[in-house]
Structure 1
Amino acid sequence: MSRILIIEDEKNLARFVELELKHEGYDTQVELNGRTGLQAALDDNFDVISLY
């Protein structure tokens, strides 16, 4: 299963994208700002990092 990191500061948009990707079978993680998103990207292994 592919892992996707979603970095988006607008909570509603991030939640919408997360739900759609989970519905398609992807493992997702959401970070709501660039600083925590960068830290998550450095700490873990993601197949895709999506910035909105």
Structure 2
Amino acid sequence: VYCTDNSELRIVKMSDWLKTKETMHEFTALYTSAHIGQVEHYHCTLMNKAKTM
């Protein structure tokens, strides 16, 4: 599985090439501030847990 953010790599040649390699091309939603905020919160939580170890 090859996952991209549904923007610059959404081209037919790329999808065709992945098919020849028997690889699925999946697309995520474009980046939004809400997604970035959730990821930043998760990273902060992980770092805080790692510090307490």
Q: TM-score, normalised by structure 2?
A: 0.36
Bigger radius of gyration? 2
Q: TM-score, normalised by structure 1?
A: 0.37
Task: Identify the structure with the greater helix proportion.
Answer: 2
